[in-house]
Structure 1
Amino acid sequence: MSPGCRSFVVPEVILKRIVAPLLLLATAAAQTSTVQQNVKFTLNQDLVRQTVTDGKTTETIVENPKTVLPGDLLREQVTLVNTSGRRVGQLLVNVPVPKGTEFAALTTANTDRWKVQYSIDGGKAYSVAPTRTVTVTENGRTVTRQVAAPLSAYTNVRWTVTGMNPDESLKLSFRVKVK
């Protein structure tokens, strides 16, 4: 983590709403201690219902569903609110893909304010387009190469937010499919 950069991990939560102060890792001088910053986050997990009428797809968001079924699409949405009264520097927002689901789609794409990366190893390494090493046989020879990891292999989504102004609120989200 670069000096001046703060990071937090949103805990894995299935079908629960969390409102809590954001815990950020301290900067270079105290990388091993955890400090509370005046940024709050809320993690919502909502059901996305899609209906097709006359060839047109319409989506309805069902907030805090009591039950979900295999194949259901869920929206994982983190809301960040800067309550510090001052500008907050760079933040790393790391959201694990919940157990029992698989990554389906990003709904908050890159902007000039944040960039998104993905992990396929539980958050140890991140990339814009994660790859896997595969070994195949071609023309009787064993060949090892890097190929794009399938979306189902994604374990974490991380946004790097350049900063937040006082009282600013940001919403970042992606979708998962229930296994």
Structure 2
Amino acid sequence: MKLLRLLSIGLMSAALVAPRVVAAHVQVPPPKPLVITAHNMTVATAGGQDTRAVARPGDVIRYALVFTNVTAGPVKNIQFVDPIPKGMIYVPGSAAADHPARIEYSIDGGKSYSAQPTIQVVEEGRKVEKPAPRQLYTHVRWTVLGSLAPQARVMAEFRTQVSEAPGDAK
């Protein structure tokens, strides 16, 4: 009995002096895999900052989309899709990426895409396909070819021209 009592006291003492592990749960927000920015390329800058708060008709706006692979393995089948804002007109040839990508455009609100969208018009009583005017472009889509390694990034960009004053866009 005395042995049991000594053993109990010994175990309790060991528990009191043993190092304790305190689990703390700290939530760290994950890095954002996609960041989108827009920059007015037309406005004069003072110290690198835009000097106007509102874009005007004729101004050129550059949109940049940067995707970073925040996973532990390579990522495939990456697609960027960005709508062209109302009141803006796509600048032909401005869509690009710093990684091999297939670039396509939509003229139907993002339902279908083509590298060179066309429309049907009637000429001399016949339906003919013509290149779609840039005013009809509604979306730009990039399909990144191959895979993207962990922590690697790919940047896609395009430019638009302001066609209407803010508030006038339909």
- 1:67-146 matches, cutoff 5 A: 67-109=54-96, 113-137=100-124, 142-146=125-129
Q: Which has the higher contact order (CA 8 A, sep 6+)?
A: 2
1:146-157 mapped onto 2 (5 Å cutoff) = 146-157=129-140
SS of residue paired to 1:152: helix
CA, structure 1 residues 43+111, in 2 after alignment: closer, same or farther (shift >3 Å)? closer
Q: Which amino acid aligns with 2:138?
A: T
RMSD (CA atoms): 2.7
Deviates more, 1:110-119 or 1:91-100: 110-119
* Alpha-carbon contact 1:81-1:167 (below 8 Å) kept: yes
Q: How many residues align?
A: 131
- 1:170 corresponds in structure 2 to 154
Deviation string 1:124-148 (CA, Å, 9 cap, x unpaired) is 11001000000122xxxx1111100
SS of the counterpart of 2:86?
A: coil
Identity %: 28
Compare CA radii of gyration and give the structure with the larger one.
2
Gaps of 5+ in 2: 1-28, 164-170
Q: Which has the higher strand share?
A: 1
State the Cα distance separating 1:108 from its structure 2 match.
Answer: 4.3
The normalised TM-score by structure 2 is 0.68
| Structure 1 position 50, deviation (Å) | 7.9
Partner of 1:158: 141
State TM-score, norm by structure 1: 0.65
1:44 aligns with 2:33: no
| Alpha carbons of structure 1 residues 160 and 63: separation in structure 2 relative to 1, 3 Å | farther
Q: Which one has the bigger helix percentage?
A: 2
